[in-house]
């Protein structure tokens, strides 16, 4: 099995689906000759031609609207946001048109909106946002946020084949940092299935995206002290795999939720509420959360490190949780 | 008022832009494409639209219709003439005052009535109302309330047709109000760059809710925007159904021939308020009186009589028949319940 970076795994999934299904095509800014800002589509123009690797003007509304129209007309478009931050410019298309079409018209909108998100790379307020909670709060959209290359591939293939609009987040800090063996060819990870990435007995960390890796690091630190921490990667926010999360809570009785998105209104609050509602009697301590401080993501490295969650902050909260 | 309103009276304005100069376009186009059967159909669909409108107003006043009732009175010629210029294999993305286009595409009165009154069996299961529905069998894709949102969707629809080598054209609509939404710009620019077979009808009915043209835009005509996009633009009298048809037929032909999108501004008047709760007192009375004289149905009826296409008796019979059909559709719809409550929790996603 080849060892691929997170970024290569995404390219692999896109290439595989475009080869397999002629209705799959990509549109976005600078994705053709230039291969995209992060080179996800490097070589795609030569392989698939200009009409399937479509450069667009800087027009997120047109990109997302056109993707919806193409999806209604038998295609499976994959729209790239050069940075996920810019999805705000096309917000209306996703939350009012794409998300309501199944409900109102009984018609699928098989489209994927994907792109780099997340902080920790000096991107500042406008190239660092984790906006997944906005879309998780919009009925009719599916929301995916993988943490590992193999999952990134398998979940992207599932997203492309899904008949509903999927918002697919790629943490740009993982693009070249994380590599692992990724199955060649057909490889599917179903949407709505969480994965226990580390088994443990004493506490559970429920997390996704970049915080999966920080949580695993914190769990390793605690292992040296004889504490066994379970790490659950939910992988998709919508659909949400409540069963796997609740099973972990019932097993360890202590829960920390970690995400890089800001705290207030973050998806962690939803997870905490579900746990309180369905597994309250299994809890030995209050559910704790680690998330970004409620501010825009600052530019200066000192300040960015201060507001973003990381291994140290997760470790600190895990100790509090275990000491309760 | 601005020149476009006054100059739209009587003779249509013709205004070319982009790669075509206005001088290329003859002042009067031959209407040879239309036969008398076509003319009768145009008249029928305009009457159907008016009849539907009047029925909805009655239902609203009687408290039997709820939500917004958005009259299209004054817009019949534009909605019908434009939709009539399409093939059935083309795709229609209408706005809320384009009910005439639904009749052109063969949508049934019964289906429209169920939809507007949210009764069981309606096309959108009661999830939404008015002309917001889609019917893939008739290639009708309704609007959302966010103006302009469907222009890029229509562009994407024909982008994919073009990718597959099909010759489908999409026609979509916007008002003078919605023309100021950013989606308009992004979509028309994208469509022009990609030379997409898209026809955008700008229904300039003088008011965006209560805001007059003078507070909406500073260009002379909304079709002037075509210059900026490098596509074709034209402004015409939107009360003349055959002129609308002929103008749109040419736009559709250009689109199908790969010449890219067109912006057709059809100048009309919104004869009632934004919706029925709005008495539109902000509109000067004289302006409404002037446009009353240019009622598209009255104008066309006179034209058909003069040309001997229809007789007074035929028209009276047709009106009576439509009225009876409407009353039956209302009675049938009102006899039905609203959908079961639990339907509201179904089908947020498709399988």
Query: Among A137, A83, A153, which Cα is nearest to A113's?
Result: A83
The phi and psi torsions of A125 (rounded to 5 degrees) equal: -65, -25
Question: Which three-class secondary structure state does DSSP give residue A238?
Answer: strand
CA distances from A281 to A207, A272, A319 (A): 22, 14, 21
Backbone angles phi, psi at B296, to 5 degrees: -60, -30
Shared domain check, A169 and A225: no
- Cα separation, B66 vs A213, in Å, equals 53
Q: In the structure encoding, which two tokens stand for residue A233, read together?
A: 């990667």
Structure tokens at A184: 């060649």
Mean pLDDT of successive 10-residue segments in chain B (351 residues)?
33 43 42 85 98 95 90 96 97 97 97 96 94 96 97 98 98 97 98 98 96 96 97 98 97 97 97 90 93 97 98 98 97 97 97 96
Question: Which residue carries 């079961």 as its tokens?
Answer: B340
For A257, the token pair is: 């939720």
User: Residue B85 in contact with residue B251, Cβ under 8 Å?
Assistant: yes
- CA dist B69 and B272 (Å) reads 11
Whether A214 is covered by a domain: the verdict is yes
Residue A250 token pair: 């019932």
* Of residues B124, B150, B155, nearest to A105 (C-beta): B124
Q: What is the 3-state secondary structure (H, E, C) of chain B?
A: CCHHHHHCCCCCCCCCCCCCCHHHCCCCCCCCCCCHHHHHHHHHHHHHHHHHHHHHHHHHHCCCCCCCCCCCCCCHHHHHHHHCCCCCCCEEECCCCCHHHHHHCCCCHHHHHHHHHCCCCCCCCCCCCCCCCEEHHHCEECCCCCCCCHHHHHHHHHHHHHHCCCCCCEEEEEECCHHHCHHHHHHHHHHHHCCCCEEEEEEECCEECCEEHHHCCCCCCHHHHHHHHCCEEEEEECCCHHHHHHHHHHHHHHHHCCCCCEEEEEECCCCCCCCCCCCCCCCCHHHHHHHHCCCHHHHHHHHHHHCCCCCHHHHHHHHHHHHHHHHHHHHHHHCCCCCCHHHHHCCCCCC
Q: Which residues of chain A does B182 touch, with a Cβ-Cβ cutoff of 8 Å?
A: 61
Last residue of a domain, one of A181, A203, A222: A181
Nearest CA in chain A to B130: A104
Q: Give per-residue pLDDT as tens, A222-266.
A: 999 999 999 999 999 999 999 999 999 999 999 999 999 999 999
Question: Measured between alpha carbons, how far is B191 from B228 in angstroms, rounded to an integer?
Answer: 13
Contacts of A93 in chain B (CB under 8 A): 149, 152-153
Integer Cα distance of A7 and A9 in angstroms: 5
Tally of CA atoms within 13 A in the half-sphere of A82 that contains its CB: 19
Q: Are residues A55 and A199 in the same domain?
A: no
The Cα B125–Cα B134 span in angstroms is 12
A305 lies in some domain: yes
Domains in chain A, number: 2
Same domain, A126 and A8: yes
Interface confidence, given as ipTM, is 0.96
Tell me whether residue A186 is in a domain.
no
Query: Which of A62, A111, A163 to probe by mutation at the B interface, max B CB count within 10 Å?
Result: A62
The values of phi and psi at residue B344, to 5°, are: -65, -20
Query: What is the 8-class DSSP label of residue A163?
Result: S
A95 touches chain B (CB under 8 A): no
- In a shared domain, residues A164 and A286: no
Judgement on whether residues A80 and A201 belong to the same structural domain of the protein: no
Catalytic sites of A, residue numbers: 127
Give the CATH number of the domain where residue A32 resides.
Answer: 3.40.50.970
Which H or E run includes A7? helix A6-20
What pLDDT score was predicted for residue B32?
A: 52
Q: Specify if A187 maps to a domain.
A: no
| Residue A256 maps to a domain | yes
Residue B264 has which token pair? 């057709």
| Cα–Cα distance measured from residue A211 to residue A316, given in angstroms and rounded to the nearest whole number | 14
Q: Are residues A305 and A258 in the same domain?
A: yes
Q: How many CA atoms lie within 13 A of B23 on its CB side?
A: 0
- A15 lies in the same domain as A116: yes
Residue B71 Cα, gap to closest chain A Cα (Å): 22
Q: Do A104 and B154 touch (CB under 8 A)?
A: no
Does residue A210 lie within any of the structural domains?
A: yes
Range of the domain at A121: 3-181
Is B128 in Cβ contact with A69 (below 8 Å)?
no
The predicted structure's pLDDT at residue B16: 45
What integer pLDDT is reported at residue B222 of this predicted model?
A: 97
Distances (CA, A) of A228 to A55, A225, A310: 49, 9, 19
β partners of residue A272: none
Report the C-alpha dihedral over residues B333, B338, B343, B348, rounded to 10 degrees: 70
Does residue A28 share a domain with residue A129?
Answer: yes
Q: Which chain A residue has the Cα nearest residue B347?
A: A103
Label each residue of A73-97 as H, E or C: CCCEEEEECCCHHHHHHHHHHHHHH
Alpha helices for A179-232 (secondary structure H): 210-223
Q: How far is B252 from chain A (nearest CA, A)?
A: 19
Cα angle for residues A89, A90, A91 (degrees, 5° grid): 95
Domain end residue (candidates: A181, A214, A243): A181
Whether A157 and A240 share a structural domain: no
What is residue A145's DSSP assignment?
-
Tokens representing A85 are 């931050």
Measure Cα distances from A64 to A21, A39, A133, B48, B142 in Å.
20, 21, 19, 35, 17
Residues A149, A234 within the same domain: no
Residue A188 domain flag:
no
**Strand-strand pairing, A179-181 and B211-212:** unpaired
A168 and A317 co-located in one domain: no
SS3 A228: coil
CB pairs under 8 A between A and B: 128
Note whether A150 and A219 are same-domain residues.
Answer: no
pLDDT score for B1: 29
Going A3 to A53 to A110 to B128, the CA torsion angle's sign is positive
Give how far Cα A142 sits from Cα of A155, B101, B189, B213, Å.
12, 34, 30, 41
**Chain B residues within 8 Å of chain A (Cβ atoms):** 91, 124-125, 127-128, 132-134, 136, 141, 144-146, 149-164, 182-183, 186-187, 189-190, 193, 347-351
Task: Write out chain A residues lying below 8 Å of B186, CB-based.
Answer: 57, 59-62, 65
- The residue ranges of chain A whose pLDDT is under 70 are none
Spell out which residues of chain B touch residue A106, defining contact as CB-CB under 8 Å: 125, 347, 350
Q: Which residue of B has its CA nearest to A57?
A: B190
Element containing residue A55 per DSSP (H, E): strand A53-55
Terminal C-alpha separation, chain A: 44
> What is the H or E stretch that residue A293 is in?
none
Domain boundary pick from A181, A216, A240: A181
Spell out the domains of chain B, with CATH numbers in brackets: 12-22+33-336 (3.40.50.970)
Question: Which pLDDT does position B28 carry in this prediction?
Answer: 45
Burial readout B16-55 (b: 16 or more C-beta within 10 A, e: otherwise): bbbebeeeebeeebeeeebeeeebbbbbbbbbbbbbbbeb
> CA A69, B133, B319, B241: dihedral to nearest 10 degrees?
-20
CB of A50 less than 8 A from some CB of B: no
A250 within a domain of the structure (yes/no): yes
Q: A260: domain CATH number?
A: 3.40.50.920
Please judge whether B155 and A52 are an interchain contact, meaning their C-beta atoms are less than 8 angstroms apart.
no
Tokens 């009457």 map to which residue? Answer: B47
CA distance B134 to B170: 14
Tell me the CA end-to-end span of chain B in Å, nearest whole number: 53
**pLDDT for B67:** 87
């Amino acid at each position: 099995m080849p060892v691929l970076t997170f970024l290569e795994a995404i390219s692999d999934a896109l290439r595989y689906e475009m080869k397999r299904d002629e209705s799959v095509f990509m549109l976005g800014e600078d994705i053709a000759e230039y291969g995209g800002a992060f080179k996800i589509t490097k070589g795609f123009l030569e392989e698939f031609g200009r009409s399937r690797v479509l450069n667009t003007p800087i027009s997120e509304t047109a990109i997302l609207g056109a993707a919806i129209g193409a999806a209604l007309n038998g295609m499976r478009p994959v729209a790239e946001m050069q940075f996920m931050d810019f999805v705000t410019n096309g917000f209306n298309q996703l939350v009012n048109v794409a998300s309501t079409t199944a409900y109102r018209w009984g018609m699928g909108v098989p489209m994927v909106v994907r792109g780099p998100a997340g902080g920790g790379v000096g991107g500042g307020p406008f190239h660092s946002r984790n906006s997944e909670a906005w879309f998780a709060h919009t009925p009719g959209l599916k929301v995916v946020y993988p943490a590992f290359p193999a999952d990134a591939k398998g979940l992207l293939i599932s997203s492309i084949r899904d008949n509903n609009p999927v918002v697919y987040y790629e943490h740009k800090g993982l693009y070249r940092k994380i590599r692992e063996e990724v199955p060649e060819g057909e490889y599917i990870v179903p949407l709505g299935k969480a994965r226990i990435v580390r088994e443990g007995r004493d506490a559970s960390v429920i997390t996704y995206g970049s915080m999966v890796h920080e949580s695993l690091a914190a769990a390793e630190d605690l292992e040296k002290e004889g504490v066994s921490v379970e790490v659950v990667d939910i992988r998709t926010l919508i659909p949400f795999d409540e069963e796997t999360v609740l099973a972990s809570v019932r097993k360890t009785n202590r829960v920390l939720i970690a995400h890089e998105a800001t705290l207030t209104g973050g998806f962690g609050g939803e997870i905490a509420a579900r746990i309180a509602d369905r597994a309250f009697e299994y809890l030995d301590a209050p559910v704790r959360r680690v998330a970004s401080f409620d501010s825009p993501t600052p530019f200066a490295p000192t300040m960015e490190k201060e507001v973003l969650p990381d291994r140290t902050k997760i470790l600190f909260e895990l100790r509090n949780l275990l000491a309760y | 008022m601005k020149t476009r309103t006054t100059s739209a009276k009587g003779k249509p304005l013709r205004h070319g832009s982009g790669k075509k100069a206005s001088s290329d376009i003859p002042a009067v186009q031959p209407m040879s494409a239309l036969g008398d059967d076509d003319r009768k159909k145009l008249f029928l669909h305009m009457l159907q639209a008016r009849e539907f409108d009047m029925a909805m107003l009655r239902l609203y006043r009687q408290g039997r219709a709820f939500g917004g009732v958005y009259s299209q009175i004054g817009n019949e010629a534009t909605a019908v003439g434009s939709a009539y210029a399409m093939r059935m294999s083309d795709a229609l993305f209408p706005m809320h005052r384009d009910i005439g286009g639904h009749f052109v595409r063969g949508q049934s009165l019964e289906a429209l009535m169920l939809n507007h009154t949210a009764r069981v069996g309606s096309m959108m299961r009661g999830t939404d109302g008015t002309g917001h529905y889609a019917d893939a069998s008739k290639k009708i894709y309704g609007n959302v309330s966010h103006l302009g949102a469907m222009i890029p969707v229509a562009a994407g629809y024909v982008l994919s047709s073009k990718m597959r080598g099909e010759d489908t054209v999409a026609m979509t609509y916007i008002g003078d109000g919605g023309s100021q939404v950013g989606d308009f710009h992004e979509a028309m620019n994208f469509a022009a760059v990609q030379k997409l077979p898209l026809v955008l009808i700008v229904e300039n009915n003088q008011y965006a809710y209560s805001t007059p043209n003078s507070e909406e835009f500073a260009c002379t005509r909304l079709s002037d925007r075509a210059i900026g996009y490098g596509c074709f633009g034209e402004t015409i009298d939107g009360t003349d159904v055959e002129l609308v048809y002929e103008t749109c037929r040419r736009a559709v032909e250009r689109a199908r021939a790969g010449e890219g999108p067109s912006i057709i501004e059809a100048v009309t008047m919104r004869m009632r308020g934004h919706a029925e709760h709005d008495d539109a007192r902000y509109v000067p009375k004289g302006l409404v009186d002037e446009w009353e004289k240019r009622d598209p149905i009255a104008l066309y009826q006179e034209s058909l009589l003069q040309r001997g296409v229809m007789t007074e008796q035929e028209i009276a019979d047709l009106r009576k028949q439509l009225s009876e059909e409407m009353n039956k559709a209302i009675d049938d719809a009102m006899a039905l319940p609203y959908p079961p409550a639990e339907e509201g929790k179904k089908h947020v996603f498709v399988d």
